[in-house]
Amino acid sequence: AFYRDLLGLEVRADVKYEGMRWTTVGPKAQPDVNIVLEPPLADPNASPADRHVMKEMLAKGFLRGVNFSTLDCDATFEHIRAGGGEVLQEPMDQAYGVRDCAFRDPSGNMIRFSQPKA
């Protein structure tokens, strides 16, 4: 729902297989761009210790998610915040030439939006 309803991506596949599940989404205007989403702790081969470490890394923001480009970082930020997105970073100008903001998706992944500076 987060990626579909809040970010406006279309669902292209929703696969359930042997106790696992992954969903493919992408921008409607770019049918050749796909993002595969899977629960970060769903690997059936992960040990309980591995799952514990992954959960801690997610909570601290060490596992990177996905970066999107946007034409208006501030408007994107307000839209996602108003829709209930968990804010990690409000819009700010970066020394490397972009204005960006960041959120956490419902699974704990970081989602960053960048706008090139004019």
pLDDT in tens, 14-40: 999 887 888 999 999 999 999 998 877
Q: How far are the Cα atoms of 7, 15, 22 from residue 12, in angstroms, in the given order?
A: 14, 10, 11
58-117 has CATH 3.40.50.1240 classification: no
Q: Which two tokens stand for residue 76?
A: 């994107």
Residues of the chain with CATH 3.30.720.110: 58-117
| pLDDT higher than 90, residue 2 | yes
Select from 109, 112, 86, 85 the least CA-distant residue to 101. 112
| Strand 98-104 versus strand 86-93 pairing type | antiparallel
| pLDDT higher than 90, residue 106 | no
* Strand ranges of the sheet holding 110-116, from the earlier edge strand across to the other edge: 66-69, 110-116, 98-104, 86-93
One-letter amino acid for residue 88 of the chain:
L
| pLDDT higher than 80, residue 104 | yes
**pLDDT tens-digit readout, 84-97:** 999 999 999 999 99
